[in-house]
Amino acid sequence: MTERIEKALNEQMNAEMYSAYLYLSMASYFESKGLEGCANWMKAQTQEELIHAIKFYNFIVERGGRAVMAEIKAPPSEWESPLRVFEHALEHEQLVTSLINKLMELAIEEKDHATQIFLQWFVTEQVEEEASAGAVVDKMRLAGETSGGVFMVDRELAQRQLPIPMPQE
C-alpha cells in the first residue's frame, strides 16, 4: 500500500467517525423534540458509520499500515425542522459518496487493486445510503410541517432495526 493510499484511507476512516458523530447529534436533536422514531433512525445510522470506520481501520491494518485517529470536529446540534435534519443527512451522504469516489479514483491511479476491491463495497453502500436518506426526505416533504404527518413518519422510522442493540438503562 502506498503512502498516498494509506493517508487517504485514514482520512476516510476519520470521515466515517465524523459521520457517526453527526448522526448521533441528529439523534439527540430528535430525542429533544420527542421524535423517538427519527432518533432511532439516526442511531442506526450512527452504528452503521462506526462499522464503516472499523472496516477502514481493519483494512489499513491488514495491509500493513497504521490507522491514525484524527481530531473530530463538533457537528451541528440545531436544525430548523425535522425535514432540514434529513435534508442535511442526505447532503452529507452525497458528500461521503464524493469522498469514496475520489478514493476509488486514487486507488485506480495507484493501480492498487486490493483497495479498489475493498472500496467497491462502499461504492454500493453509498447508493443505498443516499436512497435511504432520500426516501425519508421525500416522506418528510409529503408530511409537511403538520404534526400528524411528522408523527406518521416518526412512527415508521421507529421500525428500523439497529445493527447493534442499544443498551437499556
The mean pLDDT value of the chain amounts to 95
DSSP state of 169: -
Is the pLDDT score of 169 beyond 60?
Answer: no
Give the structural domain span for 26: 3-157
CB atoms within 10 A of CB 17: 20
pLDDT (0 to 100) of residue 76: 98
Examine residue 41 and state whether it is found in any structural domain, yes or no. yes
At residue 167, the pLDDT reads 67
The SS3 call for residue 68 is coil
Dihedrals φ, ψ of 138, to 5°?
A: -60, -45
Task: Spell out the alpha helix ranges (H) of 35-112.
Answer: 36-62, 82-109
36 in a structural domain: yes
Does 16 have pLDDT greater than 70?
yes
What average pLDDT does the segment 136-140 reach? 96
When divided into structural domains, the chain yields a total of 1
Domain presence at residue 166: no
Q: Residue 136 domain-assigned?
A: yes
The verdict on residue 162 lying in a domain is no
Residue 26 lies in a domain: yes
135 in a domain, yes or no?
Answer: yes
Assigned domain for 101 exists: yes
Q: Per the confidence metrics, is the pTM higher than 0.95?
A: no
pLDDT over 70 at 58, yes or no: yes
Q: For residue 84, what pLDDT is reported?
A: 97
The alpha-carbon radius of gyration of the chain (Å, integer) is: 17
